[in-house]
Structure 1
């Protein structure tokens, strides 16, 4: 995942689906990108679960490093308790990294596939989704292609410009009438 490890979107339980995924699939490697007040809490939970060798915590990174970090991911997990409309999920999608997470806030709109979402707080269900996709490269590739197309069509700068252009055109047409 790529987030500020702060309580605005994450909480102490946000690490749990990752821990459960590693426990269910021991070869799983987890990359946690970001820093913040939850970093030590997450590290303690990982250590307590005995899976610290499977985790890499980068701390804060420069924005320019994000593409290389996304390229290392097979999945992007959004274990948030609140999500308005973050940019990290569409970034992952555009880089051919499927996004899964809790069905909260805008995540459902972003991924547009309920099979990739677990009810908020159901870490077992989210870890099952993670493990199932890590074990199914064909489905992951299909989702990655679909997500990349969706990100380009709906969340890119070009899509934003086209939407604003349409709004302005409609507004100007109304004022001319």
Structure 2
């Protein structure tokens, strides 16, 4: 499976996993995070459900905008191949925005864990950090395929500065010239 799609589905899964309890049982979720024992207010329940719906919306938009789900119903259009560097027109911007969201959320969960010591924040921090790390990897390395030379088998975009790249100039023995 492509790492880009793994990131897309892990982001959608992680956000959906968080949104479902907030939508289904907001009283329990808000009571778990309260310091004192009291029932959750109607405003807290409202905000918990709004947060749940927002997380679910972000999860669905992430899957749709990255091209994981085809948005057209016509079969006559050409199918995108693996050689295309962009999966969909909004794939890379969606990847960057959701990776930043995951990173900021991991940092916020970390600060909340340090101030309160609650295990739920530590679990959230670990989940957000894992998905943010996959997103960072995709931003850095999964944007396109390398330009591989047919003669040498090396990436054409590499340079020899400041050290000489002797491997890039050698012909590989396993490559047969036609």
The interval holding the TM-score normalised by the smaller chain is: under 0.3
Give the TM-score of the pair, scaled to structure 1. 0.28
